[in-house]
Amino acid sequence: MESVLRQFKTKIESWKEWHECKVVVLAISGGVDSMVLLHLMLELTRLQEYRQVRLIVAHFNHRLRSDEVHAIEQKLVVETAKAHDLIYFVCKWQEPTKTNVEANARKARYQFLADVVQACEADCLMTAHHMDDAVETMLMRIVRGTSFKGLIGINANYRRLMQTSSGEVVFPRMLRPLITQRKEALYQYAADHHIDYFDDETNQELEYLRNRVRNLYLPQFEEENPQFFHNLISMQEQMQSVYQAHYQGFIAIEPYLLVKIKERDWVLDVEAWQKLSEDLRHVYLTIFFEERLVHEIGQYDKEAILYLDQQITNQLTPNYSFNLASGWISRREYQYIYIESELKGIEQAKPNQVVDLLSLNKWHSLGDGMWIGIFNEHFVSNQMKQAVDAYYAMDLSSCEVLPKFHVRHRRDGDVIQLRSNESTFHKKVSRILIDEKVPLLKRESMWLVVNDQEEVIWMIGQQKSSRYLPERPEQITHHILIQKMY
């Protein structure tokens, strides 16, 4: 087995998640990277242990170049798929934008890929990003200015929450097995195996930053140090670990720090933020911007994080506002900071909203980017539990008929069953919220999972009922999963 294929096989088999993949969607553009990826996957699935893996080809036309070029690329991808008897999907970007083109094109592409994943019931999405892509992307972010999150580079193996064109959610494993390969090795592999591909001539035009980084800057860095690419990749991997550790820490206490009270408005608890160390507060504010706010406010001045930090710690002026970003205001009123798109005041959550969880193994929208679902135990992997924001393991084996769970906001008189040592007791939800010093706005917007007897099963972000708690891991039959997506 030759070097590239051997390294490819070693890399992909180093991910235990790969061995669970049965249907793989390949994002194929027609360039050398993706055509080599297609060839390598075809070689891999010829091996006895992977003959059951099903490959699906997906090609997206961004319409950013001439129709002739896109026609050539599409023809190449389609003919190659047909030659190997593969199912394929092609799609054209119907409404290309003239501003923020790269981000909008990426969004449109991944929406199409989500549609393909859903249509084929795929469990894996694979792209042809390689080492040069990862290094170029990181250097571009540094040149343009980036955030803590931006330094982690391109993640090669993770669960990706994606939204289809119909608004439904899919959650495939995202794999990038070429991430350790240099592009020159891919060119050589294509030549050795007579692989057809289309080389985009615009990659040489220096009016684009990526092309200048690729053709001018990186060769100079590599001349200074031949290990520059590998060193930068190593640094990215370290940053990914550091960011993930901080992100998990943020998620653990996020319900105490802030709450989203309506579609576009947030409330921060000043006292909770002040309890953090200065360094940790700055890191968590950065994560809040990158994982929550940026999806709504778009671009923002990095100094906005510093200004918000000062607003939190200001003891002399507890009531003032500043412009956080274009069209957005951060307004402090004593112990709360309201981040608003408009000065409309604060709307309370709708107390009568109810979301039924009637279908198993399916995500249900709670609005405001929050999704919930009840899944059979065998459907939920450890990686899936790590990827979601919260989960609740349940034992429903004693139920003759599965309860009909639904989600709603708090009502007067709500109680929850708890366990202390060997005894069980009931406690009012309102009392728990008071004891835990949960702010009033968070209390009104908190979601409760209840069964068909209106018993509170889970105060999401707070307390879990003991009613369905398993005594041992092997007794788990179902999971309730919570995922935020913006």
Residues tagged in the binding site annotation for ATP: 29-34
CB 213 within 8 A of CB 136: yes
DSSP state string for 128-139: ---HHHHHHHHH
Strands ordered across the beta sheet of 370-376: 364-367, 370-376, 478-484, 390-394
**Of 124, 160, 155, 159, which is closest to residue 26 (Cα–Cα)?**
124
CB 256 within 8 A of CB 272: yes
Phi first, then psi, for residue 40 (nearest 5°) are: -65, -40
Enumerate residues 6+ apart whose C-beta is below 8 A from 360: 374, 375, 376, 478
The binding site consists of 29-34
Give the integer Cα–Cα distance in Å for 197 and 73.
8
Give the integer Cα–Cα distance in Å for 427 and 227.
61
Q: Which helix (H) or strand (E) holds 367?
A: strand 364-367
Length of the chain: 486
Coil/strand/helix, residue 12: helix
SS (H, E, C) 137-206: HHHHHHHHCCCCHHHHCCCCEEECCEECCCCCEECCEEECCCCCCCHHHHHHHHHHCCCCCCCCHHHHCC
- Residue the block writes with tokens 């970007």: 93
